[in-house]
A and B are shown apart, each in its own frame.
Chain A
């Protein structure tokens, strides 16, 4: 197996996001602002339901989820079937303002800055699957500890939105809440005692 990163650079959450957003803004100004804002159209039926994310942020989150939750076999559902990005929007809406702001900034940094650091000079959402995986993998194994933490935060949102759905449970051998099914074995004995 490969070894651990040689050095871990420690950067605070605030500094990382400020630098990232500044970089993102610089890229946008250095290129073309219109270029940065075009290409993020979503159907009106979707955008009208978004509670916290802008259409652009929604599409970035959707692109992340599609790669993080890419299945290994057909018995698991596709993230799109479970409306994962919409669920993430709902979760972000429930975050307190500070965490919501951090998360939204992170999505912009991922879209405009991190592909460059992974030698993929394009928007994240425009990369092909392998390119997106390379960007996410570079985050996951970055020498900057905070970037690794940011990856884990995004991944946590994705798996929450995915494994919440009962359609994912059968393939991983989980039978869901006990409240929804007959009580078995030892638990059945205890219930009988109580009655």
Chain B
């Protein structure tokens, strides 16, 4: 098969084709699977809901890039509107707008998956070769401390003053990165070694056909076997303009924990224990801002290069499940997260260049749910009492770090906002302040709606990523994860997609 990129928005007529494998989604998991499967000699088609955006398209403007790069124009929220969930769309998925954080799945998490979910073949040792390959492929290296921007310097200074554990993060960016600070809007300098820049061209070179603007509606199946997928080709605004139907016996879901679960639910796949869409984890995070007397200009430079892990213990039953990292936005994002309206909002926005922001992201235990209401995908997620304690811990300790770094005032956006000017103010930051729609919560890491496990009563796919009940259906994205992973997920998704791809090839060879 001759590979290539095809834009659905430029295709006028219905498309019907046949392939060995169809991959639904092109983020970290879908791109990795596409490359691996194409290189193994299979004919591969990738169908991606969003558009194809590359460096020349990235204008560094929030109003243009957020609607283009994020699901629901960046406005996706849980059903009660309490948590904003930012997940990507477009070729490369969230790897196009993420900030390039690279961490392997923690050994404690893999142990828990093995012991609690029956994933006997998964361990630090067995996954290590996959991580090594991913790190090589994507050029993962620690960030040079000289590149710490103002926001990250404040986190480091505060954490070191308090003698909190922390360190530099590793990234997949190369010398093209000039530290513009616009990572979350796509890199206009093409400095990210992401799925769009690295893996999809390799997949195409190996023969894969990659469609953008191609939304998969459902998986076709018959007699317990996958038969293909059908969907629509859309215009730039996501409106249907033609149909697409691909016949295949192997389908890989890679549309993120929300998108993949939606496709599975719409497909009417046999799900006797109602597991599809359950066990959603999102790493919710509270936002904490600190105002300084000096100029910080957090919007310049690499946004996230230092982490504080003092309150992050990923062992089972831990009561320290908070990952503290810098988190800054440009004016639209910042003003949306700043409390109040009218002159009060504008006065606070005048502090923009003197403001640093941290996120206390939690390794969550709450299990949310993705479900369908007619054709509409809905998300339920309400942090449980333990997770609210963790959100409060993250906010409290982030505020303490800011005070240690010399902040004049710390603010946690909530109803009403929490203001901290001295240590004694920290006691107001309690779990009670993290009820739904009180403190503002954001999430960027949906996971776990089609989780792996040995027991079909409590999982959707097995250790090989293979659906328990529908032959030929695999999952190759973060939907696989049985629990939260407590850190940036892209490395874990790349590595597990690589692993599952190997199983797909083995299974297909055995079947033929």
Contacts and interface: CB of A to CB of B under 8 A. Distances in A.
Do A and B share a complex? yes
A168 to B, nearest CB: 7
B222 interface: no
Contacts of A152: 81, 336, 437, 440
B80 A164 contact: no
Interface of A is mostly: helix
Interface stretch (A21-29, A32-40, A65-73, A113-121): A65-73
A162 B63 CA distance: 10
Contact of B188 (A159, A179, A191): A179
Contacts of B502: none
Contacts of B352: 172-174
A187 B191 CA distance: 13
B343 A71 contact: yes
B73 A94 contact: yes
B180 A178 contact: yes
Interface in B36-68: 59-63, 66-67
A59 B382 CA distance: 34
Chain A: number of interface residues, binned into ranges: 35 or more
A149 B81 contact: yes
Interface stretch (B5-13, B412-420, B474-482): B412-420
A47 to B, nearest CB: 22
A173 B294 CA distance: 13
Contacts of B436: 8, 10, 145
A45 interface: no
A148 B428 CA distance: 21
Contact of A172 (B178, B349, B432): B349
A139 B424 CA distance: 30
Interface string B183-199: 00000100000000000
A187 B301 CA distance: 8
Contact of A133 (B300, B332, B335, B342): B342
A13 interface: yes
A173 B348 CA distance: 12
B80 A145 contact: yes
Contacts of A10: 80, 382, 436
B356 to A, nearest CB: 14
B163 interface: no
Contacts of B62: 160, 163-164
A95 interface: yes
A183 interface: yes
Nearest to A98: B376
Contacts of A163: 62, 331-332, 335
B181 A178 contact: yes
Contacts of A2: 416
A194 to B, nearest CB: 7
A21 to B, nearest CB: 17
A146 B73 CA distance: 20
B76 to A, nearest CB: 9
A178 B330 CA distance: 12
Interface in A41-90: 67-73, 76
Interface residues of B, number: 65
A182 interface: no
A191 B179 CA distance: 10
A2 to B, nearest CB: 6
B75 interface: yes
B175 A145 contact: no
A45 B347 CA distance: 34
B437 A145 contact: yes
A8 B238 CA distance: 36
Given A133-B342, A174-B352, A140 B415 contact: yes
Contacts of A176: 60
Contacts of A72: 343-344, 346-347, 350
A189 to B, nearest CB: 9
A164 to B, nearest CB: 4
Interface string A144-176: 011011101101100110111000110111101
Nearest to B347: A72
A194 B419 contact: no
A12 B408 CA distance: 39
Contact of A174 (B179, B345, B353, B382): B353
Nearest to A145: B437
A107 B414 CA distance: 23
B178 A191 contact: yes
A30 interface: no
Contacts of A136: 341
A155 to B, nearest CB: 6
B79 interface: yes
A145 B77 CA distance: 13
A31 interface: no
Given A148-B437, A149-B437, A160-B63, A194 B176 contact: yes
B341 A140 contact: yes
Contacts of A96: 72, 238
Nearest to B336: A156
A4 B350 contact: no
A141 B335 contact: no
B128 to A, nearest CB: 33
Contacts of A122: none
B237 interface: yes
B70 interface: no
A171 B419 CA distance: 24
A127 B408 CA distance: 38
A128 interface: no
A164 B63 CA distance: 6
6 contacts: A3-B416, A8-B436, A95-B75, A156-B75, A174-B353, A191-B178
6 cross-chain pairs, A with B, having the tightest CB-CB distances, nearest first: A149-B81, A177-B60, A145-B437, A173-B353, A164-B63, A72-B343
Interface of A: 1-5, 8, 10-14, 67-73, 76, 91, 94-96, 98-99, 133, 136, 140-141, 145-146, 148-150, 152-153, 155-156, 159-160, 162-164, 168-169, 171-174, 176-179, 183, 186-187, 190-191, 193-194
Given A133-B342, A152-B437, A169-B331, 10 more contacts: A12-B80, A13-B79, A68-B342, A136-B341, A146-B437, A148-B438, A173-B350, A174-B353, A177-B59, A178-B188
